[in-house]
Amino acid sequence: MWWDALSTFQQVMFVIAVTSTAIMLIFLVLMIIGIDDADFDGGDAFEGDLGYLNDEPLTGIAGLKIFTIKGVLVFLSLGAWTAYLLDGVLHIAFVIVLALIIGFIGAFLQALAFRAMMKLESSGNINYENAIGKTGTVYITIPKEKKGKGKITMVVQDRFAEIDAITNDLEELLPKTHVEIIGLEDSTTVIVKKI
């Protein structure tokens, strides 16, 4: 049987490699179907037990969280497969060093990939404070002296937006009038003046 032909070192590496690869595949399937796995990276569910895996000072390198559960799985998987495949080809000490290096590189690249993915996430909300001082165009008439709301259109946060607006001006602002945003009435309504 092929198992008996393997050295003890190869058997151990094979078990580690298969186990860590299988767990990584389970994480991948969970991620694809949208199950939130934040708790598996040392979140609230593991507070006090595995929470140290995400501590920035101990495991972070330049803002990367390398030693998360996923990072350790990548390290073990790549390192064990490397050691398993190279045992008997190279000297055992060189195999171990090479496996450690390849495992660490894999964990580092995994951390880079996840950081890049997290940068792509955004709430999608427009912060109307970013509109103050910019100009827009009246879309729906804005009643004078804050007697009601109208709408303006403008580009804010690189998006074309239709925004509720009021004015302190003494005359109503008609469609196609150019206005400047001078403040916020609330989180979704801007105060404008004619320019």
- pLDDT 10s digits, 135-152: 999 999 999 999 999 999
The segment with the largest mean pLDDT, out of 43-52, 62-71, 180-189, is 180-189
Q: Thinking of the domain 128-194, which architecture would CATH place it in?
A: Beta Barrel (2.40)
Whole-number Cα distances in Å, 101 to 22, 76, 84, 106, 148: 22, 11, 14, 9, 66
Domain ranges of the chain: 2-120, 128-194
Answer whether 134's CB lies under 8 Å from 181's CB: yes
Closest CA to 69 of 23, 115, 15, 16: 23
Answer whether 119's CB lies under 8 Å from 91's CB: no
What pLDDT, on the 0 to 100 scale, is given for residue 123? Answer: 57
Summarised one tens digit per residue, pLDDT across range 85-111 is 999 899 999 999 999 999 999 999 988
What pLDDT, on the 0 to 100 scale, is given for residue 122? Answer: 56
Summarised one tens digit per residue, pLDDT across range 71-81 is 899 999 999 99
Answer whether 178's CB lies under 8 Å from 147's CB: no
How would residue 55 be classed by pLDDT, with cut points 50, 70 and 90?
very low
pTM summary value? 0.53
The rounded distance, in Å, linking the Cα atoms of 146 and 1 is 86
